[in-house]
Amino acid sequence: MRVLIVEDDTAIADELTEGLLRERFEVSRAATGEAALGAPLPDVVLLDLRLPDIDGYTVCRRLRERSQVPIIMVSAKGDEIDRVLGLELGADDYIVKPFGLRELVARIRAVTRRSHPRQAQAAPLRAGNLSIDVRARRAYLGAVEVELTPKEFDVLSRLALEPGAVVSRQQLLAEVWDTHWYGPTKMIDVHVASIRKKLGAPEWIEAVRGVGFRLCVPE
């Protein structure tokens, strides 16, 4: 698996590189945002927020405009607003410094695992004029493709497995993110809001207060 480390602190980048190489990852590095944007696309990006030229949020947004590569933001800032902003811009996960190598490796494996189909379904998932091809990881409204981030696709496809049924926040955290995630559940709301916007109507996903969400077909 190819990992791109976007980090301008050489000591931190060296430590991450050494640890990931021990875990048998292929590692490439970029010390600036522009270098990261010009690098060959890896299987996952570890993106520091504080870079000498452009900030990590801008790098994330520009990467997401052209690619669905899984992105894990790495930052010393652990406030909820920072996490939410990163997720709104298309990041798949957010890890706060300092962190252990085992946690990082688990998160890398989680986001890359969830960027591939969980199962090879013969028929697409359907709800009204919404069609989801799980194998190809594509969603369509009628004949128009809906551009989703990897996490948005996973959230939508999970809800589409049981249209009309309520899927709890705990289920979404366990199945779309990782069972060991202890961050704020606000990230679910961020992804749901983005999916609603891309589907063109908030009625597609109904929030059930205190429980979770369900997929509904707008009238």
CATH number at residue 211: 1.10.10.10
Strand partners, 44: 3
- Residue of 158, 132, 147, 145 whose CA lies nearest to 67: 147
- Quick check: 49 and 77 in contact, CB under 8 A? yes
pTM surpassing 0.85? no
- Quick check: 87 and 190 in contact, CB under 8 A? yes
Domain count, the chain: 2
- Determine the pLDDT at residue 124: 85
Strand partners, 2: 26
Last residue of a domain, one of 113, 144, 159: 113
- Determine the pLDDT at residue 116: 56
Helices 56-66 and 80-88, interaxial angle, to 10°? 30
Task: Examine the domain organization and report whether 57 and 139 are in the same domain.
Answer: no
| Tokens read off for 61 | 């947004």
Residue 17 domain boundaries: 2-113
Task: Examine the domain organization and report whether 133 and 202 are in the same domain.
Answer: yes
DSSP state of 169: H
95-139 residue pLDDT tens: 888 888 888 988 888 888 766 544 444 578 899 999 999 888 899
Sheet with 71-75: strands ordered across: 26-30, 2-6, 44-48, 71-75, 93-96
d(CA 125, CA 131): 6
Residue 100 lies in a domain: yes
Amino acid occupying residue 28:
S
d(CA 114, CA 73): 16
Task: Examine the domain organization and report whether 99 and 135 are in the same domain.
Answer: no
